[in-house]
Amino acid sequence: MDYDVTVIGAGAIGCALAREVSQRYPSLKIAVIDGAGAPAAHQSGRNSGVAHSGFNPAPGTLKARLCVEGNRLIRDYCREKRVAFQDVGTVVAALTVVEEERLHGLLQRGRANGVPGVELRTLAQARELEPNLADGIRLVLHSPSGAIFDSRAYVMAMAEDAKAAGVTFRFNTRVVGADRLSAGWRLILDDGTLLDTTRVVNAAGVHVDEVARLFSWQGPYRIVPFRGRYWNVKGKDDIIRSMVYPTPDPHFPFLGVHVTRRIHGGVMLGPNAMLAFGREAYSFWKVQPKDVLGMVRARNFWQMMRRPDIIRLAAVEIERSLSPRKFAAEAARLVKGIGPEDVAPGPPAGIRAQLVDEHGELCEDFLLQVEGDVCHILNAVSPGLTSSMAFGRYLTEHLKERNFLSA
């Protein structure tokens, strides 16, 4: 065999897993394969650069457990590796009576999940933290463990650790086929290379379901890509000190357009969550016909689009994607002093690899499936970045229990 374990995908999860396994099992030959030219080329490098506290996930879920643990691990790791990291805290604002009730629910979730220091504040109390909070805010949840950091540098550091432990990285390479061997798999790469491996971990992010089907996976899920656009706030770097979120809608796993301080300076707005016309359709006008055709052929997609709330969301998000005025208006409900004239194109858009089940429901929790000698990490969306080191540890233990990592 060329390798004992091959990880497909060099994002935060793939690199965290490769790092963890290589350090705990130095005798294993491990490879990481990615279609891009470097780690963190997609979700892990195109995001808000936020270490979430963990008050959003439902108690008892894998997300809740790994986000809180991951927040602690990522903080220590970034400081050890001198990756830019700053504790700024998270502010969530309620604008209506209904949202006030939701904030009380988030407070209970945060406490149940073990989030340190989470509390509710009046607007006057919250302005001690964020003086420019908007006048219409009724109640605020504050979580001091929220932080901002350089997500790309963080993933690169984990990849370097993995390399130092003997992991081989193969970039600009895609797995396009897989043939079953008597023990393991023969992977067919897009350059014609054949690579034999005993076990496979599929951490391919937005392509995870496509890759899974190469290994005869028949699960009832499909990735539907959602594009998140960002805008910058011009010339007002001190308008906030941390990050200010709207109260999330419990019907969707998206957190809404928020105002975030950036780790290397400046303030940005976003992301929104618009249905994308391709798995790597980072521009509004980009259409990837193969992906669109696959999406509209899937029952999951049409079941999702039958939901009136999804239709309303789609209409709103298209408008947001095209209109800086709309983004500014959303931000002004949270923070005073942001107008349309203050908004400029921001960081590169990202794609959220959202898993949808056969009933059209957007999957909330992290989801992984182990089938013999193949493991598929099917749903690792936000807070997947925050959770990545904890996810790597959890998955390593999980695979150990299933004798997946024996030499």
- Over the chain (407 residues), the average pLDDT of each successive run of 10 is 97 98 97 97 95 97 98 98 98 97 97 98 98 98 98 98 98 97 96 97 97 96 94 96 93 80 95 91 93 92 89 78 85 95 94 94 95 96 96 96 83
217/309 same-domain check = no
Q: Which of 6, 407, 404 is nearest to 193 (CA)?
A: 6
Query: Do 258 and 199 belong together in one domain?
Result: no
Looking at the domain assignment, is residue 140 inside a domain? Answer: no
Classify residue 335 by its DSSP letter.
B
Closest CA to 107 of 50, 180, 55, 159: 55
In a domain, 139, yes or no: no
What is the pLDDT, as a whole number, of residue 407? 58
Tokens representing residue 60 in the block = 């008892």
Please tell me whether residues 369 and 358 are part of one structural domain. Answer: no
Handedness of CA 377, 218, 34, 43 (dihedral sign): negative
CB 40 within 8 Å of CB 152: yes
Same domain, 238 and 340: yes
Q: Is there a single domain that holds both residue 375 and residue 350?
A: no
- Nearest-5° Cα angle at 13, 384 to 286: 75
Q: Please, what's the b/e burial string for 150-162 (b: 16 or more CB within 10 A of its CB; e: otherwise)?
A: bbbbbbbbbbbbb
Q: Are residues 325 and 285 in the same domain?
A: yes
Same domain? For 257 and 353 the reply is yes
Length of the chain, please? 407
Same domain for 252 and 333: yes
Whether 94 is covered by a domain: the verdict is no
Query: What is the dihedral sign for C-alpha 103, 47, 40, 355?
Result: positive
Q: What is the dihedral of CA 130, 136, 139, 145, to 10 degrees?
A: -30
Asked whether residue 130 is assigned to any structural domain, the reply reads no
For residues 390 and 328, state if they share a domain: no
Q: For residue 242, tell me if it sits in a domain.
A: yes
CATH of the domain at 14: 3.50.50.60
On whether residue 98 sits in a domain, the answer given is no
| Same domain for 289 and 373 | no
| Residue 29 resides in a domain | yes
Q: Using an 8 Å Cβ cutoff, are 203 and 380 in contact?
A: yes
Q: How many domains does the chain have?
A: 2
Rounded to two decimals, the pTM is 0.95
Structural contact between residues 1 and 199, judged by C-beta atoms closer than 8 angstroms:
no
- What pairs with residue 178 in β-bridges? 187
The residues pairing with 201 across neighbouring beta strands, listed in sequence order, are 7, 375
| 133 lies in some domain | no
Residues 378 and 335 reside in one and the same domain = no
Shared domain check, 325 and 216:
no
Q: Integer distance in angstroms from the first to the last C-alpha of the chain?
A: 12
pLDDT of residue 314: 78
The domain of 406 spans 1-89+145-221+364-407
Cα of 381 vs its chain's centroid, Å: 4
